[in-house]
Homo-oligomer: A and B are copies of this chain.
Amino acid sequence: MPFIPHTQEDVQSMLSTIGVESLDALFDEIPTTLRSAPPRLPPPLKEMAISRLMRERAGKEGGALAFLGAGAYEHHIPAAVWEIAGRGEFYSAYTPYQAEASQGTLQLLYEYQTMIAGLTGMDLSNASLYDGASATAEAVLMAVRCSQKQGGCVGIPATVNPRVVATIRTLVSQLGIELVEIESCPLTGAVDWQRLAGYPQRDWLALLIPQPNYFGVLEEVDALTNWGHAQGALVIGVVNPLSLGVLKPPGEWGEKGADLVCGEGQPLGIPLSSGGPYLGFLACQTQWTRQLPGRIVGRTEDRRGQVGFVLTLQAREQHIRRAKATSNICTNQGLMTVAATLYLALLGPTGLARVATACHHNSKQLQEKLTGIVGVEKGYDGPFFHEFVLQLARPVESVLAGLFDRGIIGGLALASDRLLVCCTETKTEQDRDRYAQALEDVMKESGG
Contact = CB atoms under 8 A, between A and B. Distances in A.
A86 B48 CA distance: 20
Interface in A41-80: 46-48, 51, 76, 78-79
A304 interface: no
Interface residues of A, number: 13
Contacts of A76: 46-48, 51
A365 interface: no
Contact of A78 (B47, B83, B87, B425): B47
A47 B425 contact: no
A312 interface: no
A48 B87 contact: no
A446 interface: no
Contacts of A83: 86, 88
A173 interface: no
Contacts of A425: 48
A159 to B, nearest CB: 30
Nearest to A89: B87
Nearest to A78: B47
Chain copies in complex: 2
A426 B47 contact: no
A87 B86 CA distance: 10
Contacts of A51: 76, 79
A46 B355 CA distance: 12
Contact of A47 (B47, B79, B87): B79
Contacts of A87: 87
A79 B47 CA distance: 8
Nearest to A346: B47
A221 B147 CA distance: 86
Interface string A420-436: 00000110000000000
A55 B47 CA distance: 25
Nearest to A48: B76
A173 B83 CA distance: 44
Given A46-B76, A47-B76, A48-B425, 9 more contacts: A47-B78, A47-B79, A48-B76, A48-B426, A51-B76, A51-B79, A83-B86, A83-B88, A87-B87
12 contacts: A46-B76, A47-B76, A47-B78, A47-B79, A48-B76, A48-B425, A48-B426, A51-B76, A51-B79, A83-B86, A83-B88, A87-B87
Q: Which 8 A-B pairs have the closest CB atoms?
A: A48-B76, A47-B78, A48-B426, A47-B79, A47-B76, A51-B76, A87-B87, A48-B425
